[in-house]
Amino acid sequence: MGGLKYYFNVAYGVGKAGCDRMASDCGHELKIRGVTMVSLWPGAVKTEYMQEELSPDDTDPMRMSLRKMVDRGETIEFSGKAVVALAADKNVISKTGRIVLTADLSREYGFLEDDGSKPDDMRQVSNLLAYQGHTWLSCLVPSFIRIPLWMMHQGSNKF
């Protein structure tokens, strides 16, 4: 999401947006040679840095929400599983130049975390409501209701 909206700092956003743009342009130029280029978007990732940086004792609402996302997020190995699944797909060229989310790839290819769990999907409306503290409302929203990719794009500040 760092390529769509401000997160953390300028360098983070510029790096994320640059990777998305590079995937788009390289995908366009390299498709005729059979080379696939994508920008892989994991959800919240349980990196050592994030787990150390976000204390369970934080009282700042933004940091508390971020901590919830990281706690229920994906391991670094989950992205690796996404790359393996893409590499094994004989029709992966159909994804060239696109942004692909690890949660979407998990659903498409059927891989899970090592413990058999599925990390939270950042496009799932019930998860987004729960992160904002609306737990009672999140229970009412079916898990299949997700924010469409086109809506995420339109909600960005790239225009």
The model's pLDDT over 2-44, given as tens digits with 9 standing for 90+, comes to 777 777 789 988 998 899 999 999 999 999 999 999 999 998 8
Please say if 12 is a catalytic residue: yes
The model's pLDDT over 105-133, given as tens digits with 9 standing for 90+, comes to 999 999 999 999 998 888 889 988 887 88
How many percent of the chain have pLDDT more than 70?
96
Among 6, 7, 12, 49, which one carries the catalytic annotation? 12
Give pairs for 31-37: CB < 8 Å, separation 24+: 31/93, 31/96, 31/97, 34/93, 35/96, 36/86, 36/92, 36/93, 36/95, 36/96, 37/96, 37/97
